[in-house]
Structure 1
Amino acid sequence: MSNLAIFLLLTDSQTSAPTSTGTSNSSGNFFSDFFDKIVNYFKENGVTLMLRILLALLIIIIGHYLIKLLTFVLRKSLSHPRKNGKKLDRGIITFSSSVFKFILSVALVFIVFAVLNIPLNSWASVVSAAVLAIGLALQDTIANFSNGVFLLSSHNFVTGDYISVDGVEGTVMEFNMMSIVLLSPDNKRIIIPNSTVAKSIITNYSSEPTRRISLNFDVSYDSDINKCRKIILNTVNSEELVLKDPEPNLNINSFESSSIRLVLKCYVNNADYWTVIYALNEKVFEALKKAGIDIPFDQLDINIKDNTTKDNTKALKEHPEIKVKPLKTKKGDKK
């Protein structure tokens, strides 16, 4: 390497070293100044800031318990009977309490902002963007809330009603801002979002004081229909829980492959629906059996041309319900 090259290299290294040191010093000065500003701010405003933070924490704690107390008072006041002696539905009370609690919580947040001296005007654009983002993220929640208001005002069902929604059935146990809670007959809690309920077909089995029962009974084609009608109607009329007005009636519903299907229709009080169904099924069966009425069941008839083989004999022994009708061999048939 030439002397000129070595000189240029040394010169470059000597000139670049101060530059690196200067950059390091400027970075150190920046962080030092920033830290000094923070320290000076807390020296000047630290006491005031700590007092505001402590006051905000105190307001949050007091506000939390105050909201719970006011919500409890609201629920109690709504639970009292009105002038006409009727009570508000429990679903309306739950929903109203949830909305009331939400509004108070939002008000508490604004009070805390004011105590901390956070200017909302300067944060308007940030708040607007946050509200938009939250609205997009919580659109399902907002939809559930708005649909809850619609369901509450429509009075399609109340707490305690037995309903069918979106293919599931159960007793309405709770109705809140976001969903309804059903208790199924096998003691399962089913939670359905309000938006799903609003879009579905709702069948309310408890809206009317009485409910009609429809039961099918099959009798053989050899049976006397008038005799069957008399036996079944006498059995139904002997059941105390069956209403006499409107009168129970029995008619031919359809002609099945091996039986005549009779349909019984009668009315009962809503609370007695399942009890009467189980009782009538058992009592009508016993009455028909006692009267000698044949109750047919599906049978399979197999025609076997040669039923003397071992396989056929074994199958007949294993399945005695199968009736075999041997075919007569014609003179022209080959054996």
Structure 2
Amino acid sequence: MNESLDWVAENQDAMLLFGGKVVVALIIIIAGFMIARALSNFMVKRLDKSNIDNAVVSFLAGILKAIIIVAAILMSLSHVGVQTTSFVAILGAAGLAIGLSLQGSLANFASGVLIMIYHPFKSGDYVDAGGIQGTVQRIELFTTILKTPDNKLVIVPNSRITGSEITNFSEEPTRRVDLVIGVSYKADLKKTKEVLMDVITNDERVLKDPAPRVAVTALSDSSVDLIVRPWVNSSDYWPVYWDLMERIKNALDENGIGIPYPQMDVHLHHPEGEAGEMRVLKVDKT
């Protein structure tokens, strides 16, 4: 008993110093938990205002909380004299190994987070993403699910989407329908433009502003090409496109305006001194 008391008396200063370090270490851990909770709650509130998926918000908040808590524990251990260098090295090596083995999945996850944060498209939009055109059904952490016009579900990895161009056809309320109509070189261009303009202006779905446009765009090998550019609501794009193609064909036929098909003239010449006649053959290139 006396020996124990003597040891305590001899090491009293060291015990008090160590006890103070333990108290400080506990304060660091408690403060770390409080800071982690406060910051994670702050992140949740901020991201909720951005309409980011709740699963992503919870996951990111959990990661932030875990990082702060681990950092607080390492700081507290270091404060009481525990060498944390080896722990950090082990954690770093483990993280590297996991990252290399799951690099494809991690790339898809990071891309999914970016999609949900920046909102290049949303559910219900018709897009061209990752080389696939379709209506967005769901945006998940690792994949985006599209439904093609022929009713097929295509699951596209998110990294493929963010690694290529994204075209959102539904983002803007209006779209321009671009048609190229070829007519014969014998056609009266003034009359042709009037016929085309009548067709598009008589369609109630065509918008008045911006005004539709009809103009000559090219003198091709066998036709004069005119551009027809009406503006419509995005939801009316394809119905107007298909209807105008049919109505334009009928209107041109009714007004005697020819729509040529590709052809070329082949001239056959006989050498001098040989009897015969020159023939001109028309060869259809279609």
Q: What's the TM-score once normalised by structure 2's chain length?
A: 0.64
Report the counterpart of residue 284 of structure 1 in structure 2.
Answer: 248
Match of 2:134 among 170, 173, 176: 170
User: Any idea what the Cα deviations from partners look like across 1:252-296, whole Å, max 9, x if unmatched?
Assistant: 010011110000111000000000000000001000001111111
Contact preservation (8 Å) 1:145, 1:194 = yes
Contact preservation (8 Å) 2:111, 2:158 = yes
Contact preservation (8 Å) 2:199, 2:247 = yes
Match of 2:197 among 221, 233, 240: 233
C-alpha change, 1:236 and 1:178, in structure 2 (3 Å) is same
AA at the equivalent of 1:245: D
Report the counterpart of residue 21 of structure 2 in structure 1.
Answer: none
Report the counterpart of residue 273 of structure 2 in structure 1.
Answer: 333
Q: Could you tell me how far 1:126 is from its partner in structure 2?
A: 7.5
Contact preservation (8 Å) 1:98, 1:176 = no
Match of 1:197 among 161, 170, 174: 161
Contact preservation (8 Å) 1:99, 1:177 = no
SS in 2 for 1:177: coil
Greater than 6 Å deviation, 4+ residue runs: 124-128
For 2:177 and 2:150, locate their aligned partners in 1 and report how far apart those are by CA, in whole Å.
Answer: 21
AA at the equivalent of 2:230: C
Q: Could you tell me how far 1:164 is from its partner in structure 2?
A: 1.2
Contact preservation (8 Å) 1:160, 1:173 = yes
Q: How does 1:35-74 map to 2 (within 5 A)?
A: none
Q: How does 1:207-226 map to 2 (within 5 A)?
A: 207-226=171-190
AA at the equivalent of 1:293: I
Q: Could you tell me how far 1:134 is from its partner in structure 2?
A: 2.2
AA at the equivalent of 1:275: P
Q: What's the TM-score once normalised by structure 1's chain length?
A: 0.56
Contact preservation (8 Å) 1:218, 1:260 = yes
Contact preservation (8 Å) 1:218, 1:259 = yes
For 1:223 and 1:132, locate their aligned partners in 2 and report how far apart those are by CA, in whole Å.
Answer: 71
Q: Are residue 303 (structure 1) and residue 274 (structure 2) matched?
A: no
User: Any idea what the Cα deviations from partners look like across 1:116-150, whole Å, max 9, x if unmatched?
Assistant: xxxxx9xx787775544322211221222222222
AA at the equivalent of 1:97: A
SS in 2 for 1:240: coil
Q: Which moved more, 1:184-193 or 1:199-208?
A: 184-193
Q: Are residue 263 (structure 1) and residue 227 (structure 2) matched?
A: yes
Match of 2:55 among 71, 75, 97: 97
User: Any idea what the Cα deviations from partners look like across 1:192-218, whole Å, max 9, x if unmatched?
Assistant: 222222221111111100000110111
Match of 1:135 among 89, 99, 123: 99
For 2:96 and 2:185, locate their aligned partners in 1 and report how far apart those are by CA, in whole Å.
Answer: 72
Q: Which moved more, 1:294-303 or 1:128-137?
A: 128-137
Report the counterpart of residue 37 of structure 2 in structure 1.
Answer: none
Provide structure 2 residue ranges, at least 5 long, that are not aligned to the other structure. 1-47, 67-83, 276-286
Contact preservation (8 Å) 2:182, 2:225 = yes
Q: Are residue 185 (structure 1) and residue 149 (structure 2) matched?
A: yes
For 1:265 and 1:177, locate their aligned partners in 2 and report how far apart those are by CA, in whole Å.
Answer: 40
Q: Could you tell me how far 1:99 is from its partner in structure 2?
A: 6.2
Provide structure 1 residue ranges, at least 5 long, that are not aligned to the other structure. 1-77, 108-120, 306-328
Report the counterpart of residue 60 of structure 1 in structure 2.
Answer: none
User: Any idea what the Cα deviations from partners look like across 1:139-170, whole Å, max 9, x if unmatched?
Assistant: 22122222222221112111111111232211
Contact preservation (8 Å) 1:147, 1:194 = yes
Select the structure of larger CA radius of gyration: 1
For 1:212 and 1:225, locate their aligned partners in 2 and report how far apart those are by CA, in whole Å.
Answer: 23
Tell me the percent identity: 38
CA RMSD of aligned residues (A): 3.0
Q: Are residue 206 (structure 1) and residue 164 (structure 2) matched?
A: no
Contact preservation (8 Å) 2:177, 2:229 = yes
AA at the equivalent of 1:206: S
User: Any idea what the Cα deviations from partners look like across 1:9-54, whole Å, max 9, x if unmatched?
Assistant: xxxxxxxxxxxxxxxxxxxxxxxxxxxxxxxxxxxxxxxxxxxxxx
Report the counterpart of residue 73 of structure 2 in structure 1.
Answer: none
Contact preservation (8 Å) 1:148, 1:194 = yes
Structure in which a larger fraction of residues adopt strand: 2
For 1:198 and 1:211, locate their aligned partners in 2 and report how far apart those are by CA, in whole Å.
Answer: 24
Report the counterpart of residue 325 of structure 1 in structure 2.
Answer: none
Q: Could you tell me how far 1:188 is from its partner in structure 2?
A: 1.8
